[in-house]
A and B are shown apart, each in its own frame.
Chain A
Protein backbone atom coordinates (compact mmCIF):
# COMPACT_ATOMS: atom_id res chain seq x y z
CA UNK A 1 0.00 0.00 0.00
CA UNK A 2 0.90 3.65 -0.11
CA UNK A 3 3.24 4.88 2.60
CA UNK A 4 5.36 7.78 3.83
CA UNK A 5 8.80 7.11 5.30
CA UNK A 6 10.30 9.64 7.69
CA UNK A 7 13.89 9.95 8.96
CA UNK A 8 15.42 10.24 11.46
CA UNK A 9 13.15 8.91 14.19
CA UNK A 10 15.07 10.90 16.81
CA UNK A 11 17.13 14.06 16.36
CA UNK A 12 19.11 15.90 19.02
CA UNK A 13 20.64 19.31 18.27
CA UNK A 14 22.24 22.13 20.21
CA UNK A 15 20.26 25.34 20.56
CA UNK A 16 21.00 27.59 17.59
CA UNK A 17 21.88 24.73 15.25
CA UNK A 18 19.77 23.65 12.30
CA UNK A 19 17.56 20.54 12.15
CA UNK A 20 16.60 18.66 9.00
CA UNK A 21 13.89 15.98 8.72
CA UNK A 22 13.39 14.03 5.51
CA UNK A 23 10.41 12.17 4.09
CA UNK A 24 9.73 10.07 1.03
CA UNK A 25 6.33 9.11 -0.33
CA UNK A 26 5.17 6.41 -2.68
CA UNK A 27 1.88 7.68 -4.12
CA UNK A 28 2.66 9.68 -7.25
CA UNK A 29 -0.83 11.21 -7.04
CA UNK A 30 0.05 13.03 -3.80
CA UNK A 31 -0.16 16.78 -4.29
CA UNK A 32 -0.24 18.32 -0.82
CA UNK A 33 2.47 17.91 1.85
CA UNK A 34 1.82 19.32 5.33
CA UNK A 35 4.15 19.21 8.31
CA UNK A 36 2.75 18.97 11.83
CA UNK A 37 4.26 19.58 15.26
CA UNK A 38 2.87 17.58 18.17
CA UNK A 39 3.61 18.46 21.77
CA UNK A 40 2.97 16.08 24.65
CA UNK A 41 -0.72 15.59 25.35
CA UNK A 42 -1.83 17.70 22.40
CA UNK A 43 -3.05 17.08 18.89
CA UNK A 44 -0.81 17.76 15.88
CA UNK A 45 -0.63 21.38 14.75
CA UNK A 46 0.20 22.46 11.21
CA UNK A 47 3.47 24.42 11.01
CA UNK A 48 4.00 24.63 7.25
CA UNK A 49 2.71 23.02 4.08
CA UNK A 50 3.67 22.84 0.42
CA UNK A 51 1.75 22.00 -2.72
CA UNK A 52 3.02 20.01 -5.65
CA UNK A 53 3.37 23.01 -7.94
CA UNK A 54 5.94 24.62 -5.62
CA UNK A 55 9.52 23.48 -4.97
CA UNK A 56 10.28 25.44 -1.81
CA UNK A 57 8.47 27.46 0.83
CA UNK A 58 9.80 29.41 3.80
CA UNK A 59 8.19 30.88 6.89
CA UNK A 60 10.63 32.62 9.23
CA UNK A 61 12.87 29.87 10.69
CA UNK A 62 11.04 27.02 8.95
CA UNK A 63 11.41 25.94 5.33
CA UNK A 64 10.18 22.99 3.33
CA UNK A 65 11.51 21.67 0.03
CA UNK A 66 9.83 19.28 -2.38
CA UNK A 67 11.34 17.13 -5.13
CA UNK A 68 8.41 15.54 -6.96
CA UNK A 69 10.61 13.58 -9.33
CA UNK A 70 12.37 11.83 -6.46
CA UNK A 71 9.24 11.89 -4.24
CA UNK A 72 11.22 13.52 -1.44
CA UNK A 73 10.32 16.44 0.81
CA UNK A 74 12.21 17.89 3.74
CA UNK A 75 11.68 20.20 6.71
CA UNK A 76 14.45 22.60 7.71
CA UNK A 77 14.42 24.44 11.02
CA UNK A 78 17.15 27.05 11.49
CA UNK A 79 18.31 28.70 14.73
CA UNK A 80 16.58 26.04 16.80
CA UNK A 81 15.21 26.96 20.23
CA UNK A 82 14.29 24.74 23.22
CA UNK A 83 10.60 25.34 22.48
CA UNK A 84 11.08 23.63 19.12
CA UNK A 85 11.44 20.34 21.02
CA UNK A 86 8.48 18.16 20.01
CA UNK A 87 7.50 15.36 17.63
CA UNK A 88 7.27 16.39 13.98
CA UNK A 89 5.20 14.53 11.39
CA UNK A 90 5.26 14.81 7.64
CA UNK A 91 2.23 13.81 5.62
CA UNK A 92 1.22 13.39 2.01
CA UNK A 93 -2.27 13.66 0.62
CA UNK A 94 -4.03 13.63 -2.72
CA UNK A 95 -7.22 15.03 -4.05
CA UNK A 96 -9.35 17.63 -2.40
CA UNK A 97 -9.82 18.26 1.29
CA UNK A 98 -7.01 16.04 2.50
CA UNK A 99 -8.32 12.91 0.80
CA UNK A 100 -6.02 9.90 1.39
CA UNK A 101 -3.71 11.62 3.88
CA UNK A 102 -0.87 9.38 5.05
CA UNK A 103 1.42 10.38 7.91
CA UNK A 104 5.04 9.50 8.51
CA UNK A 105 6.04 7.79 11.75
CA UNK A 106 7.36 11.00 13.29
CA UNK A 107 10.67 12.53 14.39
CA UNK A 108 11.28 13.35 18.02
CA UNK A 109 13.37 16.54 18.09
CA UNK A 110 15.34 17.49 21.19
CA UNK A 111 16.89 20.96 21.31
CA UNK A 112 19.47 21.21 24.07
CA UNK A 113 19.94 24.59 25.72
Chain B
Protein backbone atom coordinates (compact mmCIF):
# COMPACT_ATOMS: atom_id res chain seq x y z
CA UNK B 1 0.00 0.00 0.00
CA UNK B 2 1.14 3.58 -0.61
CA UNK B 3 2.64 5.33 2.41
CA UNK B 4 1.91 8.69 3.98
CA UNK B 5 2.77 11.44 1.52
CA UNK B 6 4.03 14.85 2.63
CA UNK B 7 5.08 17.95 0.76
CA UNK B 8 7.23 19.88 0.45
CA UNK B 9 10.29 17.95 1.71
CA UNK B 10 12.20 21.11 2.55
CA UNK B 11 11.23 24.72 3.15
CA UNK B 12 13.29 27.77 4.09
CA UNK B 13 11.47 30.96 5.10
CA UNK B 14 12.23 34.17 6.94
CA UNK B 15 10.80 34.79 10.38
CA UNK B 16 7.34 36.35 10.38
CA UNK B 17 6.52 34.73 7.03
CA UNK B 18 3.83 32.09 6.70
CA UNK B 19 4.18 28.49 5.53
CA UNK B 20 1.90 25.53 4.88
CA UNK B 21 2.54 21.80 4.84
CA UNK B 22 0.41 19.17 3.18
CA UNK B 23 -0.23 15.54 4.13
CA UNK B 24 -2.06 12.71 2.38
CA UNK B 25 -2.56 9.76 4.74
CA UNK B 26 -2.77 6.08 3.89
CA UNK B 27 -6.09 5.26 2.30
CA UNK B 28 -8.65 4.17 4.88
CA UNK B 29 -6.79 5.58 7.87
CA UNK B 30 -9.26 7.65 9.85
CA UNK B 31 -6.73 8.98 12.36
CA UNK B 32 -4.18 11.61 11.31
CA UNK B 33 -1.45 13.19 13.42
CA UNK B 34 0.90 16.13 13.02
CA UNK B 35 4.13 15.99 15.02
CA UNK B 36 6.93 18.51 15.46
CA UNK B 37 10.42 17.03 15.77
CA UNK B 38 13.15 19.44 16.82
CA UNK B 39 16.69 18.30 16.04
CA UNK B 40 17.89 15.79 18.62
CA UNK B 41 14.46 15.32 20.23
CA UNK B 42 11.58 12.94 19.95
CA UNK B 43 8.44 13.85 18.01
CA UNK B 44 5.96 16.03 19.88
CA UNK B 45 2.27 15.69 19.03
CA UNK B 46 0.76 18.95 17.77
CA UNK B 47 -2.69 17.81 16.74
CA UNK B 48 -4.65 14.60 16.20
CA UNK B 49 -7.69 14.21 13.94
CA UNK B 50 -10.26 11.44 13.88
CA UNK B 51 -11.81 11.74 10.42
CA UNK B 52 -12.28 15.53 10.15
CA UNK B 53 -12.74 16.17 13.87
CA UNK B 54 -10.00 17.24 16.30
CA UNK B 55 -9.26 14.70 19.06
CA UNK B 56 -6.34 16.48 20.72
CA UNK B 57 -4.76 19.86 20.01
CA UNK B 58 -3.59 20.63 23.52
CA UNK B 59 0.03 21.20 22.43
CA UNK B 60 -0.71 23.21 19.30
CA UNK B 61 0.39 26.88 19.65
CA UNK B 62 -2.93 28.17 18.45
CA UNK B 63 -1.81 31.80 18.22
CA UNK B 64 0.33 30.90 15.21
CA UNK B 65 -0.39 27.30 14.18
CA UNK B 66 -3.54 26.01 12.54
CA UNK B 67 -4.50 22.73 10.95
CA UNK B 68 -7.45 21.40 9.06
CA UNK B 69 -8.55 18.12 7.60
CA UNK B 70 -11.27 18.75 5.10
CA UNK B 71 -13.41 15.78 4.10
CA UNK B 72 -11.50 13.59 6.54
CA UNK B 73 -8.65 12.78 4.14
CA UNK B 74 -5.86 15.26 3.31
CA UNK B 75 -4.62 17.69 5.91
CA UNK B 76 -2.72 20.98 5.95
CA UNK B 77 -0.72 22.50 8.78
CA UNK B 78 -0.04 26.23 8.68
CA UNK B 79 2.29 28.49 10.62
CA UNK B 80 1.67 32.23 10.57
CA UNK B 81 3.82 34.07 11.47
CA UNK B 82 6.84 31.78 11.80
CA UNK B 83 9.44 32.17 14.53
CA UNK B 84 13.05 30.97 14.62
CA UNK B 85 12.13 28.29 17.18
CA UNK B 86 9.70 26.74 14.70
CA UNK B 87 12.66 25.30 12.81
CA UNK B 88 12.05 21.56 12.93
CA UNK B 89 10.86 18.55 10.96
CA UNK B 90 7.08 18.36 10.73
CA UNK B 91 5.91 14.78 10.55
CA UNK B 92 2.51 13.56 9.51
CA UNK B 93 1.31 10.11 10.54
CA UNK B 94 -1.87 8.11 10.09
CA UNK B 95 -3.42 5.03 11.62
CA UNK B 96 -6.58 3.00 11.68
CA UNK B 97 -8.86 3.90 14.58
CA UNK B 98 -8.79 1.71 17.67
CA UNK B 99 -6.71 1.05 20.76
CA UNK B 100 -2.99 0.58 20.24
CA UNK B 101 -2.87 0.76 16.47
CA UNK B 102 0.33 1.34 14.54
CA UNK B 103 1.00 4.84 13.31
CA UNK B 104 2.65 5.10 9.90
CA UNK B 105 4.82 8.19 9.40
CA UNK B 106 5.62 10.20 6.32
CA UNK B 107 9.16 11.40 5.56
CA UNK B 108 8.45 14.81 7.02
CA UNK B 109 8.98 18.41 5.97
CA UNK B 110 12.16 20.05 7.20
CA UNK B 111 11.44 23.71 7.97
CA UNK B 112 14.23 26.21 8.48
CA UNK B 113 13.28 29.68 9.70
CA UNK B 114 16.01 32.29 9.23
Measured CB to CB, the residues of A under 8 A from B are 4, 6, 31-32, 34, 36, 41-46, 49, 51, 89, 91, 93, 95-106
Can you name the residue of chain A whose Cβ is closest to the Cβ of B50? A97
A89 CA to B43 CA, complexed, in Å? 9
Rounded to whole Å, the gap between the CB of B40 and the closest CB of chain A is 8
Q: A43-B105, A43-B106, A43-B107 are in contact. Are A98 and B42 (CB under 8 A)?
A: no
Interface size on B, residues (CB 8 A): 29
Can you name the residue of chain B whose Cβ is closest to the Cβ of A41? B107
Can you name the residue of chain B whose Cβ is closest to the Cβ of A89? B42
Measured CB to CB, the residues of B under 8 A from A are 4, 31, 33, 40-45, 48, 50, 55-56, 91, 93, 95-108
Rounded to whole Å, the gap between the CB of B90 and the closest CB of chain A is 11
Could you say which residues of chain B place their CB within 8 Å of the CB of A43?
A: 4, 91, 93, 105-108
